[in-house]
Chains A and B, each alone.
Chain A
Amino acid sequence: MKNILLLFFLVITNNNLYSQFVISKSASDRMEGKLKKEILDKASLRCWYEFIQYCSNEGIKEQVVDTFTLDIGLKCSMYYDQNRIMRDSADRVEGERLRPRVKLIRQHMTKAEIDALREQGGGSYQELLSRGETAVLYKDRKKQKIIIIDGTITEMYKCIDEVPPQSWELREDTMTILGYVSQKAETVFRGRSYVAWFAPDIPLQDGPWKLYGLPGLILQVVVDDGLFVFKAIGIQQLESFPIAMNKDQYVTTDRKQIRKLAFKKNNKRRFLGVDGIFSMSFEADKRIFDELEQE
């Protein structure tokens, strides 16, 4: 098991040297999914959002679409990247598959070393592109605060963001989204203007990301005339699905620091495995994204 932990550790960290690492108890529990969980609430509704943003990829403007999930309970909700969770579990399965053969893990091998390994025959080569959001947002509507959890297998960060409900101005316009008549509302939040469409027939005062406080679920949000768009693409009823947070040793930080951390992880990682010997390399994501929060 130690080896597989080390493998994960190296996949995540970015160190040029062959070094020794000390893995804490909480980190190993985290990696094996053994951490105890705190149940914040039970969700009875799940809403999927498409989050559309633009980035500059070597000078070219590109559209990037991610799918987020919002699990809503009476008091709390949880907002996370559905694909990200799936991708991580796929990595995990791959890791499990390779586990019996793992002997030694190295990082940033030279081309000659990789060739030498390959000469020994066999081997698998993989490129993993970690895109999308790793942060999970827990929104406590009553306490008017949002807990942001983000980090790596080795270290987890926690940030408590005090966000009272946005002061929305209601408008008369309506639009049908996913079959729900939705009313328009506008606000300004942390330096950007938001146009939201909420459904009074879904009596949950929640919404995607840090947005909430309208008399119905927010189904669509257009930020700064389309610079960012949140758009509901599906709604599903749940039967008391737990909104759970790991009881972990979190490093407390503020929301600006936690965003910086998120951007570090948008890189492409490659790993080559030859008869249990693994090597990793990383390539930074060259794309430049705009930040949602300007303040």
Chain B
Amino acid sequence: MKLCFLLYSLFLVSSLSSQTILNGNITDKKTGQAVEAATVSLYALRSNRIIAYTQSGENGEYRILFNGKQDSLTLAVTGFNLKKVVKDIANKSQTIDFVVGDEMISIKEVIVVAPKINEVGDTLNYNVERFTDETDRTLKDVLGKMPGIQVLENGMILYMNKPINRFYIEDMDLLKDRYGIATNNINPNDIATVQVLQKHQPVKALKDYETSSDAAINLKLKKSSKGVVLATAQLGAGISPLLLSNELVGMYFSKKMQDMVVYKGDNSGRDILGELNSLYNPEPKVRDLDILAVLKPRQPAVSLQRYLFNDAHIGTVNHLLALKNRYVLSTNIYYAYDEPKRESNAETDYYLPGDSSLKICEQNVSKLYQNRMGANIELSANTDDFFLKNRVKMEGRWDKENGRVFTGDSIRQHLDNPVYGISNQFEWVTTNERNMFKVASFAGYKDMTQTLDIYPVLYDALLPPATSLMAWMRQKARMKDFTTTNSLTYGRKGKVTQNYSLDFNAHVQHLQTDLLLMDRGIEVTGGDSLANDLKREHYEWKLHVSHSLALGDNVNVHLFCPIRYLLVREQHTSHYLFVDPFLVFEQRLSAYLSSSLNYSFTQEVSGIENAYTGNVMTSYRNLLRNDGERDRYKIHNLWWILGYKSPFSSLFGSFTTFYTHTRARLLSEYLYEGILARKSTLQYPNNTQSLFSSLMLGKDLETIKSSFSLNADYNYNRSLQILQRVISSYKSHSLSVGGKLHTKISRKIILDYKIRGSWNKSLFQETELPVNPVWLLSQQLLFNWLPVEKWMLGVSCEHFYNDAIRSGSRNMWFADLNLSYTLKNTEIRLDCTNLFNTRHYISTVFNETGRYYTEYGLRPGEVLLRVRFKFL
């Protein structure tokens, strides 16, 4: 014990011998008083690393102990509102006094900004201001930059690669399925937050009974934008020849009332009609059946504005009123008019057995006169235990289309296509503690008339002989369709949530077609083989049982098992009994990762479009006829969705794999006689398999002010085809990979870059057809320069590459320029598009039946000046 003490003492002495003790007093320069609580730090000589420190006491005294072998040291005194004093000293015990002066504390400020994305429960809040920069004009531009959110060309918004199921403004559904009106016209500066409501069940009362895996979007407006009228106008004019682009937008949002009124007129290729697209996933409706068509070439794979020769006007009025007793009344009316023109040269090769193929060369000019109108009025109430909705919807379409085709001869086509429809949708839900009752009913009627006139008479062998040279062919088709779906549901909440529903659906269709000869203004019928008068009745009774249960905290299982009895009456009556099970297995793997595995089996019978047996001239070179055999499909679907979201790191990703196996009884065959095609079917059970995989990644990189997204799709199809009486197995693979980057390089430079490459390969096994893989690449670089405040210059360059083009250049280049000047409430913008004046888009596409070469007319170089101002 003594030894220990001795050793310890020795150690203490030796350590004391190498210890430096610094002490002294700190006094104030002005007052001479002691300075308390000053920090005294000892540094290795002139370094920025502190090796020892202390704080001065009440009398300004300090004492630092230091063990170190350095020769010299730096001693510094700092403190609250004190001027820093630094002294270099030798490493020995000594007394050093400091006299310090005052200095107001001065700190480099770092301003705190709200986080870009935060998550509260199932709601994700995207701070709009943080995603907006000088290049953004509409909400759509900003949405596209938010990680996890995508906006498709047609305006549809996807969250985690899935379409949203509702779009709200301030928690109210003003625009319904036409939310493009909002995304294209609301200024992002009026919006505070874009909310993503995950797992959104639009019917609040059904929240515990019917789960949803879809998300909805809700816009939270800034306080300054609520309860005031917001109005903007745009005047735009340009040349080559005369371009006009005008708009008038007014909106008002308050707790009790919401309004949005839009007028737009444009002939500069900007797709204003697209703003009125219906974007929700299928709600009950009567399907359009367009049998006849004016033959048009495939649309080019460049942005729509490059090839849209439009002359469009749209108008829409949307009004929502919150009534007493939690009811909401909303009305939406829209009208659209457009006269798009198309011009193209096309070469089509249809594959025939052996090495032969059929080549058709066409020069095509067409003009469509679109006239569309729609209105709906809806009364709804949506509370936690009660839901009521009744929506009456009316629509009308009066389209006319003129086309001319030169295939050696000149062929004139004219299509008249009026459609009228009316429907009513009713839904009523009530819940109490554990039970739910639901009544849903939809009834709709649609009348579609199509008349296709073709001059001259091409198929004189089919039709009675014409007496005049001015005779032409007329194909008439009229379809009347009444659809109704009705269901009664009872649900019970518990450990296992159970829903039982009884459905009755009916679908009554009447199709009349007639191929006539128009000779000296008189309709001459072509006989029974050229006419159809087909009634189809389709009745369905369904007992639907569904169970949902939670296994532990993180696993949910849903099982749906509808039993369907089907009665189809055409010329003869058939009965079917189908069981269509559907299984969902959802698992939350971690706070960020979730997985959903789904399987479904369904059976279907073919519809009226495969039932008519008389010839129908669907276009000037397609004469179609079915042999009346009804096909029956057995469809297995298996899909897996893996989702990853981390709002903290702004990283979102999803991976989807979809596998479908379809078994059909019949195989269709197209027979070509000259340029005329006929369809017939063969009793030959066959399978079609398809695999679709898709990967989406979105990330916001705050540190380098960038956001990027990545999309990759893979598609595989395998089926059987008949080519001129030979059954052949057909396979196709396609892979498409694309990325998008938006980056603010400096305060003055903003860069956007988009790239997409795709690879396509088709293969017929038995017939060794010459099908080569096709490579396509498109990229766009947009460079925005903000030299001084309020001014912005943008240069954009687009490149397309197609390696299937055998003659001519495989590369296409486009360049655009824009200049804008922003005053307080006014923006002046000059656009020069297509600087290289590229007039044609050339593409080659392969599919199972042939090769399609198209040369498509593009808009020439144009200059457009637009002034947009906010007047309210």
Binding site for B on A (CB under 8 A): 44-45, 48, 57-63, 65, 67, 74-75, 111, 115, 118, 121-123, 125, 129, 141-142, 170, 172, 174, 178-181, 183, 200, 202-205, 214-216, 232-237
Contact = CB atoms under 8 A, between A and B. Distances in A.
Contacts of A57: 591
Contacts of B326: 121-123
B14 interface: no
A172 B120 contact: no
Given A60-B590, A235-B110, A74 B37 contact: yes
Interface of B: 37, 39, 41, 48-53, 55, 78-82, 84, 105-113, 115, 120-121, 324-326, 383-385, 432-433, 552-554, 588, 590-591, 648
B702 to A, nearest CB: 11
A118 B113 CA distance: 41
A234 B110 contact: yes
24 contacts: A44-B80, A48-B112, A57-B591, A58-B554, A61-B591, A67-B112, A74-B37, A121-B325, A125-B383, A170-B50, A174-B49, A178-B110, A179-B108, A180-B108, A203-B78, A203-B82, A215-B78, A216-B39, A234-B110, A234-B112, A236-B110, A236-B111, A237-B105, A237-B107
Contacts of B82: 203
Given A170-B50, A215-B41, A204 B80 contact: yes
Contacts of B120: 129
Contacts of B81: 44, 74
B591 A63 contact: yes
A60 B110 contact: no
A125 B205 CA distance: 14
Given A170-B53, A203-B80, A215-B50, 19 more contacts: A63-B648, A65-B648, A67-B112, A111-B385, A115-B385, A118-B383, A121-B325, A183-B49, A200-B41, A200-B50, A200-B78, A203-B78, A204-B80, A216-B39, A233-B110, A234-B112, A234-B113, A235-B109, A237-B109
Given A203-B82, A237-B109, A61 B590 contact: yes
Nearest to A142: B37
A110 to B, nearest CB: 9
Select the residue from B48, B82, B107, B325 with max chain A CB neighbours within 10 A.
B107
B554 A59 contact: yes
In the complex, the 7 A-B pairs of residues with the closest C-beta atoms, listed nearest first? A234-B112, A203-B78, A58-B553, A215-B53, A62-B591, A178-B110, A48-B112
Contact of A172 (B49, B109, B112): B49
A236 B105 contact: no
Contacts of A232: 110
B782 to A, nearest CB: 32
Given A204-B80, A205-B55, A60 B588 contact: yes
B49 A122 contact: no
Nearest to A268: B121
A174 B48 contact: yes
A51 to B, nearest CB: 13
Contacts of B49: 170, 172, 174, 183
A21 to B, nearest CB: 29
A236 B106 CA distance: 10
Contacts of B52: 170
A59 B587 CA distance: 13
A200 B51 CA distance: 12
Contacts of B324: 121-122
A280 B326 CA distance: 20
Given A62-B591, A203-B84, A235 B39 contact: no
A183 B42 CA distance: 13
B797 to A, nearest CB: 37
Nearest to B84: A203
Given A57-B591, A123-B326, A203 B110 contact: no
Nearest to A184: B49
B115 to A, nearest CB: 8
Given A61-B590, A115-B385, A123-B326, A170 B51 contact: yes
Contacts of B552: 59
Contacts of B115: 65
Contacts of A183: 48-50
A112 B717 CA distance: 56
A211 to B, nearest CB: 16
A170 B49 CA distance: 9
Contacts of B84: 203
Given A170-B52, A174-B48, A235-B110, A203 B79 contact: yes
A90 to B, nearest CB: 13
A243 to B, nearest CB: 14
Contacts of B78: 200, 203, 215
Nearest to B648: A63
A61 B48 CA distance: 40
Contacts of A115: 385, 432
B606 to A, nearest CB: 47
Contacts of A142: 37
Contacts of B79: 203
Contacts of A121: 324-326
Select the residue from A118, A174, A180 with max chain B CB neighbours within 10 A.
A118
A235 B37 contact: no
Contacts of A141: 37
A251 to B, nearest CB: 32
Nearest to B385: A115
A226 to B, nearest CB: 13
A203 B39 contact: yes
Contacts of A58: 553-554
A272 B82 CA distance: 56
A130 to B, nearest CB: 12
Contacts of B55: 205
B325 A122 contact: yes
A123 B381 CA distance: 13
Contact of A45 (B41, B107, B385, B648): B107
B591 to A, nearest CB: 4
Contact of A125 (B107, B108, B384, B553): B384
A4 B48 CA distance: 57
A179 B79 CA distance: 20
B108 A235 contact: yes
Contacts of A118: 383
A233 B110 CA distance: 8
Contacts of B591: 57, 60-63
Contacts of B53: 170, 214-215
A215 B590 CA distance: 41
Contact of A202 (B107, B325, B432): B107
A166 to B, nearest CB: 13
Contact of A44 (B105, B108, B112): B105
A170 B82 CA distance: 24
A295 B109 CA distance: 36
A45 B81 CA distance: 11
Nearest to A118: B383
A283 to B, nearest CB: 12
A118 B39 CA distance: 65
Contacts of A65: 115, 648
B722 to A, nearest CB: 54
Nearest to A286: B553
A173 to B, nearest CB: 9
A74 B81 CA distance: 9
A103 to B, nearest CB: 19
Given A63-B591, A74-B80, A215-B39, A233 B112 contact: yes
B105 A75 contact: no
